């Protein structure tokens, strides 16, 4: 006769066995990994809330958590990976411009305006998934290779970044735009030089989690898109169809290009996924579009795949760089090092296992949550939504950097409005980090 649920508590060994299993180190680690997946989902879907912020906050409260560093580190790394899968969703649907100004908008926005948002979400998931499949087996060997030439790499870093700058400017199609790119890069360099080391006194978060990067990046790359959308009457049209217009070969090529870009970001400070993607795709994509519409649509799709791949691959390579080389190449890596007392809280096998687990969950969550996100957001009034998100970014700047952060956010937002008015890519604003490094 089958045992009913009401009989289970009467079995004397059931609760002790369950308690023993739950307290097993592997179960504790898995539980924290699931918690990290939840945190990465929240940070990915809430606009302006970057996973670095949550990771640093988690590291700040780690001493008060009765769990081993390995388990807490597992939560941090899982959150970082899942975030790279889901952060494309709000990026696609928020700040969508008026159809008349779509040519000057970002690739994801253009696909959403064409009713292809669900396709874009799936292209992004494919890019991230392929990136994990390629980056995981490459991460440790590449990190060991970088470790052997670490001193030479650091010595040559200013020259390497200078070459990156030249290639990025040269990727602009005309001399007028190249001049605009130089101007944006120069102004961003000046902003970074003046603000990166400013004190964050008055911040509402622990000093170990406070950072001027939050208001800088929110101002440079988040606020301008929202501000521009306030002037238009952009609405999100019905999103139909999930079949990708890219061929399998084109999709895989773009994703692999993203992996190469992610390796560049993972080991070179100051380089972003957007910068690496433009270089990896041979200078195409991003804010600029070629004249032929069919080529432009194809490049937009490739750019989404490659950018998502680069973003996720960066998380993998940055984790490997911390484990093998000891370098902190991202906010998540900084949080991991803090939890681990200056180094990685776990070994390479555990790190890669958590990466694969989190990536598998993230790949499932993207289409499931992304489609629902599109449905909900397109029903909301566009301008009030953009204004609300802009206010959230403003508040977060103050939370993470105090009154100074609010001022930096405002200045960065003004500078962030400049690239589209000069007809150049926004990635030149990464000079806020690259420039100060090149200048020493």
Query: How is residue 3 annotated by DSSP?
Result: P
371 vs 262: CA distance, rounded Å: 27
Neighbour count for residue 412 (Cβ, 10 Å): 27
Mean pLDDT of the chain: 80
pLDDT over 70 at 16, yes or no: no
Which phi and psi angles does 390 have, rounded to 5°? Answer: -60, -40
pLDDT digits (tens, 9 = 90+) for 314-323: 888 888 888 8
Predicted confidence at residue 152, as pLDDT, reads 85
Average confidence (pLDDT) over 2-13: 45
Q: How far apart are CA 343 and CA 44, in angstroms?
A: 26
Q: 304 or 268, which is more confident?
A: 304
Identify each DSSP E strand in 180-270 by its residue range: none
Q: Which tens digit of pLDDT belongs to each residue from 27-43?
A: 778 888 898 899 889 88
Kindly state the percentage of the chain with pLDDT values over 90.
17
Going from the C-alpha of 194 to that of each of 132, 134, 215, the distances in angstroms are 37, 39, 14
Question: Quick check: 219 and 408 in contact, CB under 8 A?
Answer: yes
Handedness of CA 197, 198, 200, 201 (dihedral sign): positive
| Domain extents in the chain | 24-438
Residue 375: which residues within 8 A CB-CB, separation 6 or more?
239
Quickly state the pLDDT bin for 375 (edges 50, 70, 90): confident
Helix axes 150-170, 175-195, angle to 10 degrees: 140
User: Are the beta carbons of 108 and 299 closer than 8 angstroms?
Assistant: no
């Amino acid at each position: 006769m089958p045992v009913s649920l009401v009989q289970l508590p009467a079995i004397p060994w059931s609760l002790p066995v369950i308690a023993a299993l739950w307290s097993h180190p592997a179960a504790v680690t898995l539980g924290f990994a699931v918690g990290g997946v939840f945190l990465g989902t929240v940070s990915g879907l809430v606009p302006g809330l970057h996973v670095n912020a949550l990771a640093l906050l988690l590291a700040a409260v780690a001493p008060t958590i009765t769990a081993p560093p390995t388990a807490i580190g597992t939560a941090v790394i899982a959150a970082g990976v899942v975030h790279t899968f889901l952060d494309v969703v709000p990026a696609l649907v928020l700040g969508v411009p008026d159809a008349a100004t779509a040519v000057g908008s970002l690739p994801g926005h253009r696909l959403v305006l064409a009713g292809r948002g669900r396709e874009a979400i799936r292209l992004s998931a494919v890019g991230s998934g392929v990136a994990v499949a390629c980056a995981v087996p490459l991460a440790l060997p590449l990190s060991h290779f970088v470790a052997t030439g670490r001193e030479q790499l650091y010595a040559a870093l200013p020259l390497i970044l200078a070459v990156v700058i030249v290639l990025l400017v040269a990727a602009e199609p005309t001399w007028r735009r190249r001049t605009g790119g130089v101007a944006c890069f120069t102004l961003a360099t000046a902003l970074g030089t003046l603000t990166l080391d400013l004190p964050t006194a008055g911040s509402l978060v622990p000093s170990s989690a406070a950072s001027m990067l939050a208001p800088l990046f929110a101002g440079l790359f988040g606020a301008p898109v929202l501000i521009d959308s306030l002037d238009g009457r952009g609405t999100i049209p019905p999103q139909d169809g999930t079949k990708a217009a890219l061929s399998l070969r084109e999709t895989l090529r773009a994703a692999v290009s993203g992996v190469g870009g992610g390796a560049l970001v993972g080991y070179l400070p100051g380089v972003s996924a957007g910068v690496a993607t433009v270089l990896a795709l041979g200078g195409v994509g991003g804010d600029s579009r070629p004249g032929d519409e069919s080529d432009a649509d194809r490049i937009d799709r490739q750019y989404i795949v490659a950018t998502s791949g680069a973003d996720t691959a960066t998380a993998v390579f940055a984790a490997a760089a911390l484990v093998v080389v000891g370098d902190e190449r991202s906010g998540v890596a900084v949080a991991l090092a803090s939890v681990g007392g200056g180094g990685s809280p776990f070994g390479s096998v555990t790190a890669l296992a958590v990466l694969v687990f989190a990536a598998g969950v993230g790949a499932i969550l993207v289409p499931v949550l992304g489609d629902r996100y599109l449905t909900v957001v397109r029903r909301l009034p566009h301008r009030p939504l953009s204004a609300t998100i802009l206010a959230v970014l403003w508040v977060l700047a103050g939370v993470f950097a105090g009154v100074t952060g609010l001022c930096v956010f405002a200045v960065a937002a003004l500078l962030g409005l400049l690239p589209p008015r000069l007809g150049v890519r926004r990635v030149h604003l990464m000079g806020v980090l690259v420039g100060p490094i090149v200048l020493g």
